[in-house]
Structures are given as C-alpha cells and as structure tokens.
Structure 1
Amino acid sequence: MHLRVTFVAAARCSSLLAERFEDDRPLDQAGWDEVQRAAHELVPLAAAELRYCSPTPRSRATGDALGYAPLAQPALRDCDMGRWRGFTLGEAMAREPSAVDAWLADPHATPHGGESLVGFISRIGGWLETRPVGEGGRIVAVAEPSVLRAALVYALKAPPSSYWNMDIRPLSTVTVAGHAGRWNLRLGAPQ
C-alpha cells in the first residue's frame, strides 16, 4: 500500500546561528510564536493515522502545540555527535578544525566519536522503511531539521554530500510518498 510521510521541522529553541549539535533545549519564545503563526497550515496534519516525533523537547513541544499528540521515536533522534554534543559548529571548528573538515568532507568519517553522516542517513531511512501502513497511509513526524535532510537524502537516493545543500527552516514540511524501497518527494501543500 502507498504511504505518505510528512515531516515537520521542529520550531526553534535558539537563533539559527546558535544551533547546537543534539540540542536538548525546549522551545524559546520565538519558537512558540512561530508555532502559533504556522498552526493554521500545520494543524490539519493531525488527521494522519500515525503521529510521531523525535525525542527532543522542542520536537515534542511542537507536536503537542499543533495537536498531534505524537509518540516519541528514538530512531528519529538527531545525529549522534559524540564529544561535539552541545557545541555549535563554530565551537567545534575552533577546538578541532581538522576534525571538522574531515567530517564535512567524508560522509563515513566519525572524528567526533559519534555517528557518521552515512550511518545517520541509514538510521533515518531504516525508520522510514519500517513504518506500518494504516487505512489512509498517512503519517506525520515532527523532528529536527537534520532528520528531514537525512530523510530526503535517503528517499531520493541522493549522494550523502547533498545533505549539506539542503536548508530546512523551522516548521517547514517535507513529504515523501511511496513504499519501502521506492520513495518520491511530494511538493506542495499537504492534502
């Protein structure tokens, strides 16, 4: 059966320049305000048969504020950044510039002691491939922007380096449709 998974990027918990690897902070006031402004477009997604979120406080709060009552999925967590957890990219670069360069250049690299980009994309793809199909085949999942990028790379069978070329803003949506092994990007407003 055909499945449609709409990913919603979690609202912000800090300015985009202050984003931290594996950020566990809750929504800030700007994030709450963004959710209120976008709610009229995103609330209809609560009609999905299955509603999930990543285990971060901001993803859960975003889903709850939109009326999704999502079930947290450990597989939808952000990339494991090892010893860089909690750092901004700038902070990691200041401490370990050659390690950051290696990580950005090689999708198999794990200089931080965490998960490689390829491993992260595969984990998100594995989650996507194992979703049960309900009556209408609709799923909504609130997650970090990095999870949306990984899902797109996986679904489109794009090279891992394309991950770095995707700009996913808070509360934006991405829909993939199809079934295990065959996914298509669906553009336009959710139906």
Structure 2
Amino acid sequence: MHLRVTFVAAARCSSLLAERFEDDRPLDQAGWDEVQRAAHELVPLAAAELRYCSPTPRSRATGDALGYAPLAQPALRDCDMGRWRGFTLGEAMAREPELVDTWLADPRSTPHGGESLMAFISRVGGWLDTRPASDGGRIVAVAEPSVLRAALVYALKAPPSTYWSIDVRPLSTVTVSGHTGRWHLRLDGTRQ
C-alpha cells in the first residue's frame, strides 16, 4: 500500500533565534499572522483522510487554524531534551559547552539526560511506518520543525548528521510517499 504523508511545520511561538528546546508556548501574534498569510496554500491539505499533530500547543493551534481538526500524536512530540528543556541552544552552550558539543557530534549521546538524536529519529520513523495503510491514502501532520527534520532523515535513510543540515521554517511543508521502510521525498513544484 502506498501512502503520502505531508508534514507541516507549526507556526512560530517566538523569533527563530529564541526557539527553545521542547517549547510548550502557544502561538504568538507573528505566528497567527503567518498562519493567515499561508492559509490559502495549506488549507487544501485538510482534505487528507487522516490529520495529525504533535501534542504542543502551537502545533495543535496551527492545525486547528488551518481547519485540519488534527488528532494529537505523542510520537510526534519534540525530542526529549532532559534538563535542557526550555533552553535555547545558546543558553545550553553557555552552561554546558562541552556537553553540547558532545550532543551535536554523537547522535547516540544523551548528555542532557533526555533522548538521543538516534532515538528521536527512530521514534518519528516508527510513527511514520505504522500509519494505517490505504492505497493512495493521504495524511497531513502538523509538528515541530525538529520532527520534520527527523522524518526526512528517517525516510531518506540519511546519516543522523544530516539532521543538522536541514532548515525547516515555520509553515513549510515536506511530503514523503511510500510505505513501511520504503519512503521517498516528494517535491511538489508550482503548477502552471
């Protein structure tokens, strides 16, 4: 069975430079404004047979504002950052620079006491692989940018270090198609 899963990055709840690990804040005004500007492109995704979101307030609010009425999925939550939860990368670096360097270099490390990058990628990939199969089925999932990066690394079977090279902006989309263990990146261009 062949599925098409479109991930939508949640709108922002702070400036990109102030992004925090496992940020549970709701959308800020800029985030709401972004949703309104992008709605004409993203609302059609509500036609998907299944609509999901990560359990964060900003993911749920983004999905609701776009008319998806998404079902929260715990497997789509951000990476568990342990004692760094709520910190920006700069704050974690200022407090524990060697441990941040270890975390960035070793995808199996958990210097923060939370989840390793490898475990996070595997969790998101496991969610992707267990979606209900229906030939030609379409799924939309609103999640944190980190979840989109993890899904891409998993789907492409890329080295974990690739995670750090993927830039995901608020309300950007990425689609993977295929089935368990065989996913492909799908790039949709403008239609003329």
After TM superposition, the score normalised by the length of structure 2 is 0.97
Summarize the Cα distance change of 1:29–1:81 in structure 2 as closer, same or farther, 3 Å threshold. Answer: same
Q: Is the 8 A contact 2:125 2:154 kept in 1?
A: yes
- For structure 2, list consecutive stretches of 5 or more residues without a partner in the other structure: none
- How far is 1:134 from its partner? 3.8
Amino acid at match of 2:132: P
SS at match of 2:125: helix
The residue aligned with 2:129 is: 129
1:27-46 equivalence runs, <5 A: 27-46=27-46
Summarize the Cα distance change of 1:121–1:10 in structure 2 as closer, same or farther, 3 Å threshold. Answer: same
Summarize the Cα distance change of 1:174–1:190 in structure 2 as closer, same or farther, 3 Å threshold. Answer: farther
Q: Is the 8 A contact 2:84 2:112 kept in 1?
A: yes
- Alpha-carbon distance between aligned partners in 2 of 1:15 and 1:2, rounded to the nearest angstrom: 37
- How far is 1:188 from its partner? 1.3
- How far is 1:189 from its partner? 4.8
SS at match of 1:111: coil
Residue 144 (1) aligns with residue 111 (2): no
Amino acid at match of 1:124: V
- Alpha-carbon distance between aligned partners in 1 of 2:190 and 2:13, rounded to the nearest angstrom: 25
CA offsets per residue over residues 134-159 of structure 1, 9 Å max, x none?
46410000000000000000000000
Q: Is the 8 A contact 1:7 1:143 kept in 2?
A: yes
Q: Is the 8 A contact 2:3 2:135 kept in 1?
A: no
The residue aligned with 1:12 is: 12
Residue 160 (1) aligns with residue 160 (2): yes
The residue aligned with 2:80 is: 80
CA offsets per residue over residues 6-61 of structure 1, 9 Å max, x none?
00000000000000000000000000000000000000000000000000000000
SS at match of 2:55: coil
Residue 182 (1) aligns with residue 159 (2): no
CA RMSD of superposed structures (Å): 1.2
Q: Is the 8 A contact 1:124 1:147 kept in 2?
A: yes
Amino acid at match of 1:187: L
Amino acid at match of 1:129: D
Q: Is the 8 A contact 1:48 1:138 kept in 2?
A: yes
- Alpha-carbon distance between aligned partners in 2 of 1:189 and 1:130, rounded to the nearest angstrom: 28
- Alpha-carbon distance between aligned partners in 1 of 2:51 and 2:35, rounded to the nearest angstrom: 17
SS at match of 2:174: strand
Q: How many residues align?
A: 191
- Alpha-carbon distance between aligned partners in 2 of 1:180 and 1:136, rounded to the nearest angstrom: 14
SS at match of 1:46: helix
Q: Is the 8 A contact 1:49 1:135 kept in 2?
A: no
The residue aligned with 2:2 is: 2
- Alpha-carbon distance between aligned partners in 1 of 2:181 and 2:159, rounded to the nearest angstrom: 16
- For structure 1, list consecutive stretches of 5 or more residues without a partner in the other structure: none
Structure 1 moving runs of 4+ over 6 Å: none
After TM superposition, the score normalised by the length of structure 1 is 0.98
